[in-house]
Structure 1
Amino acid sequence: MSDSSAMAILLPSTSALLSHKVSHVCISPRVANTQVRKNIAKRVFENGNTRRHLVMTKAQTSLEAVTAESIDDQNDFGVVNLHHVGILCENLERSLDFYQNILGLKINEARPHDKLPYRGAWLWVGSEMIHLMELPNPDPYTGRPEHGGRDRHTCIAIRDVLKLKAILDKAGIPYTLSRSGRPAIFTRDPDTNALEFTQIDSP
């Protein structure tokens, strides 16, 4: 089988790629026309709505690696998306003032507040959430990197970095910009938890 024939078997049509959101592309090495290759093609045909599009390449990696990493789906336990990020805070009201009044996040009132042995709040971030938890923070408050990108951080996708920059300037909250030059801004909440806001294009 020629390389072009293999690509035709394994890749969906252009219209199919445009009509489905592709979550990732899995690059698999080119292998001989063996049962392994037939199994890959069979999986592509049987899973018409799959988000994995296998691409045959000339990468010279071992067949064992291909079997373990690319075509063995026994470890696929069904990741859907990020549900929430837990952030520790010393004072819930102080943190809510920052996340609600500065960042404009809304509380998810449907989440329980009285079933946990500590105070907290759930804040909407798009369709996911931040869970503020009033608990002791094991991280030091001082000696942290100036740039939040070099620290543990939570990244939130936004539409307009310049607008957020103006909000932070008005509130007197320090920040740093992305060192790579991309539209992203880093700041810290009242408990020095690092936050990144990266600008994405409108859909």
Structure 2
Amino acid sequence: MATQSLFFPSITPLSPISKQHNCVISVNHHCSFTRRRETNVNGRLGKLNVSIESDRLQSVEKSHGKDYGVVSIHHVGILCENLERSIAFYKDLLGLEVNLARPNDKLPYRGAWLWVGSEMIHLMELPNPDPLTGRPEHGGRDRHTCIAIRDVSKLKAIFDEAGISYTLSKSGRPAIFARDPDGNALEFTQVD
């Protein structure tokens, strides 16, 4: 019996697998991501992971030793010198929403949490030990945070209007690199 989906029109399910496997889905060999699915194997709840490559579905063995339940990246901490200036950049210019539910009053420094999809950026008003000089112009050659977006050309226009310096991906893929007011490198990569 085949399964229909938007991305994979006809997929034949695998037979039950009793060991833990890792699911890697690769679309056009450009991006891959991992998903775990709970499945009932001989009356027991187990994890099934599969690999889809070139329209083939196959199981992939994974070691049991290091499975401690990774789900996703929860947040990325970014140091800033002036919280209000950083909020203006991330909220007002980039359009990220402040997560008011996160407690800031329990920390020994000022900060703010901003939503990036289902994950967050944690702005922390703390001294930054990294030098601002001597950093590469292209953020892709520096420590950086990458945010997936729908339209690089629209963000490029926003940066142009605001006078924000940026570089485009050196590989030609749809991505743009910029720095926040504190010199933290950001990549914005276009996804479908």
In the superposition, the TM-score normalised over structure 1's length comes to 0.70
Q: Quickly say closer, same or farther: Cα 1:71–1:100, change in 2 above 3 A.
A: closer
Q: Quickly say closer, same or farther: Cα 1:176–1:49, change in 2 above 3 A.
A: same
Q: Could you tell me how far apart the structure 2 residues matched to 1:160 and 1:129 are?
A: 20
Q: 1:51 aligns with which of 49, 63, 72?
A: 49
Q: 2:110 aligns with which of 91, 99, 119?
A: 119
Q: Could you tell me how far apart the structure 2 residues matched to 1:120 and 1:98 are?
A: 14
Would you say how many aligned residue pairs link Structure 1 and Structure 2? Answer: 157
Q: CA offset at residue 180 of structure 1? A: 0.5
Q: Could you tell me how far apart the structure 2 residues matched to 1:100 and 1:92 are?
A: 11
Give SS of 2:87's match: helix
Q: Could you tell me how far apart the structure 2 residues matched to 1:100 and 1:71 are?
A: 40
Q: Quickly say closer, same or farther: Cα 1:56–1:152, change in 2 above 3 A.
A: same
Q: Could you tell me how far apart the structure 1 residues matched to 2:41 and 2:62 are?
A: 14
The residue number in structure 1 matching 2:191 is: 200
The residue number in structure 1 matching 2:171 is: 180
The answer to whether the 8 Å contact 1:147/1:176 transfers is yes
Q: Could you tell me how far apart the structure 1 residues matched to 2:62 and 2:187 are?
A: 35
Q: Quickly say closer, same or farther: Cα 1:177–1:197, change in 2 above 3 A.
A: same
The answer to whether the 8 Å contact 2:148/2:190 transfers is yes
The residue number in structure 1 matching 2:79 is: 88
Give SS of 2:97's match: coil
Q: Could you tell me how far apart the structure 2 residues matched to 1:158 and 1:169 are?
A: 17
Q: Does 135-144 or 164-173 show the bigger shift?
A: 135-144
Whether 1:14 aligns to 2:11 is: yes
Q: 1:105 aligns with which of 96, 112, 115?
A: 96
Deviation string, structure 1 residues 11-69 (Cα, Å, up to 9, x no partner) = xx82448xxxx8516xxxxxxxxxxxxxxxxx996677523449589xxxxxxxxxxxx
Higher share of residues assigned helix: 1
Q: Could you tell me how far apart the structure 1 residues matched to 2:111 and 2:48 are?
A: 38
Please list every run of 5 or more consecutive structure 2 residues that lacks an aligned counterpart in the other structure: 1-9, 15-21, 26-38, 52-56
The answer to whether the 8 Å contact 1:183/1:198 transfers is yes
Q: Could you tell me how far apart the structure 1 residues matched to 2:95 and 2:23 are?
A: 29
The answer to whether the 8 Å contact 2:50/2:58 transfers is no
The answer to whether the 8 Å contact 1:44/1:50 transfers is no
Deviation string, structure 1 residues 89-128 (Cα, Å, up to 9, x no partner) = 0000110110011100010000001000000000000010
In the superposition, the TM-score normalised over structure 2's length comes to 0.74
The residue number in structure 1 matching 2:155 is: 164
Q: CA offset at residue 197 of structure 1? A: 0.3
Q: Give the aligned residue type for 2:24.
A: H
The residue number in structure 1 matching 2:31 is: none
Residue identity over aligned pairs, in percent, reads: 70
Please list every run of 5 or more consecutive structure 1 residues that lacks an aligned counterpart in the other structure: 1-12, 26-42, 58-69
Q: Quickly say closer, same or farther: Cα 1:104–1:48, change in 2 above 3 A.
A: same
Whether 1:24 aligns to 2:29 is: no
